[in-house]
């Protein structure tokens, strides 16, 4: 597709625009931003509104699951949310870990960090923090987290193998992750893989599920398993922006399934490459 830094810039620019919109604006424009040329984020989004700790102003409707539901957080835990956006999953996590816990959100988009910090300031939370940073090189000390969560973000990361190694690094031994993301059952057509709009829309960057889980195990994680899976239908009118009718017919005939999954995994020992190297603060 594109060079790594080009992908990051494209994703950052796209989500900077989204940060300036409300949840309603994202839902009512058929694709989040930019008109009907990309994937409608509402295709993926889950309803958080009845969850304890929910903050409407922090919910931009950009997730594809509810990773907190399977994260097994406990009062007092330290939680890191990767790609924290305006803070939706951070605030839900904070309601679970309580006053004695700590939640750190990491996002590479300055506008999202600013929005999340503004939301946090209004709420008066002192055990919530938002850090500007890259998931491939997290601004977090090694062995700090009891739990790492992420919601529909890892598919946007160019070097997923490095990202999973970073998750392993920042988790304590005995810690675990709960990650919601988009995966496929088979390879996507080249025209989709080359489309920047579909990468930002969480489709073109999606890996085959088996390969995705294999990367987690390669990073050193144990007990890696899919705890929730839901097929996602991307409408023909969106795909026809990138495929001709024959290509679309061929793709539909392939029975390739795009799914949102929530995956759980544990760090049992320090066995991954470089996981015990001197940490970064």
Torsion of CA 147, 151, 155, 158, to 10 degrees: -60
Q: Is residue 274 included in any domain, yes or no?
A: no
Query: What does the alpha-carbon distance between residue 202 and residue 62 come to, in Å, rounded to a whole number?
Result: 10
Tell me the CATH number at 69.
Answer: 3.40.50.150
| Residues shown for the chain | 281
The predicted pLDDT at position 280 comes to 38
The predicted pLDDT at position 276 comes to 47
Q: 152: closest CA among 41, 19, 238?
A: 41
**Running along the chain, 281 residues long, what does each successive block of 10 average in pLDDT?**
70 76 52 41 65 90 90 98 96 97 96 96 96 96 97 90 97 97 82 57 73 96 96 83 86 86 89 46 34
Q: Is residue 276 included in any domain, yes or no?
A: no
Q: Is residue 272 included in any domain, yes or no?
A: no
The predicted pLDDT at position 199 comes to 44
Q: How many domains does the chain have?
A: 1
Q: Is residue 13 included in any domain, yes or no?
A: yes
Query: What does the alpha-carbon distance between residue 128 and residue 167 come to, in Å, rounded to a whole number?
Result: 19
CB proximity list for 191: less than 8 A, separation 6 or greater: 242, 243, 247
The predicted pLDDT at position 69 comes to 94
The reported pTM is 0.84
Q: Is residue 271 included in any domain, yes or no?
A: no
Strand-pairing partners, residue 225, are 264
The predicted pLDDT at position 2 comes to 55
Structure tokens at 225: 């398993």
**φ and ψ at 26, to 5 degrees?**
-65, -40
Helix (H) or strand (E) segment spanning residue 249? helix 245-253
Q: Is residue 169 included in any domain, yes or no?
A: yes
Helix (H) or strand (E) segment spanning residue 5? helix 4-19
Q: Is residue 103 included in any domain, yes or no?
A: yes
The predicted pLDDT at position 22 comes to 60
* CA 107, chain centre distance (Å): 10
The predicted pLDDT at position 136 comes to 95
Q: For residues 56 and 94, is the Cβ–Cβ distance under 8 A?
A: no
Q: Which residue has the tokens 């893989």?
A: 193
The predicted pLDDT at position 41 comes to 42
Q: Which residue has the tokens 């930002």?
A: 200
Q: Is residue 277 included in any domain, yes or no?
A: no
Domain that holds residue 259: 4-266
Cα distances (angstroms) measured from residue 260 to each of 42, 233, 240, 263: 13, 10, 22, 10
Angle at the Cα of 116 (from 219 to 137), degrees rounded to 5?
25
């Amino acid at each position: 597709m594109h060079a790594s830094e080009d992908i990051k810039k494209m994703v950052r620019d796209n989500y900077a625009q989204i940060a300036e919109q409300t949840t309603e604006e994202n839902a009512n424009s058929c694709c989040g931003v930019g008109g009907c040329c990309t994937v409608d984020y509402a295709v993926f989004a889950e309803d958080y509104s009845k969850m304890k700790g929910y903050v409407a102003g922090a919910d931009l409707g950009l997730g594809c699951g509810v990773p907190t539901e399977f994260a097994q957080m406990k009062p007092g835990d330290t939680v890191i949310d990767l790609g924290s956006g305006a803070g939706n999953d951070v605030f839900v996590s904070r309601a679970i870990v309580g006053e004695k816990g700590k939640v750190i959100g990491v996002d590479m988009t300055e506008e999202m960090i600013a929005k999340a910090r503004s939301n946090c300031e209004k709420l008066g939370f002192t055990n919530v923090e938002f850090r500007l940073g890259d998931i491939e090189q997290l601004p977090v000390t090694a062995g700090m987290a009891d739990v790492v969560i992420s919601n529909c973000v890892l598919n946007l990361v160019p070097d997923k193998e490095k990202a999973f190694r970073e998750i392993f690094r920042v988790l304590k031994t005995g810690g675990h992750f709960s990650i919601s993301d988009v995966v496929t059952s088979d390879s996507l057509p080249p025209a989709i893989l080359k489309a920047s709009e579909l990468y930002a829309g969480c489709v073109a960057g999606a890996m085959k599920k088996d390969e995705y889980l294999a990367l987690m195990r390669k990073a050193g994680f144990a007990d890696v398993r899919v705890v929730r899976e839901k097929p996602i239908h991307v409408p023909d009118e969106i795909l026809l922006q990138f495929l001709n009718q024959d290509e679309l017919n061929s793709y539909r005939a392939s029975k390739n399934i795009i799914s949102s999954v929530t995956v759980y995994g544990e760090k049992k020992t320090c066995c991954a490459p470089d996981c015990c190297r001197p940490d970064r603060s």
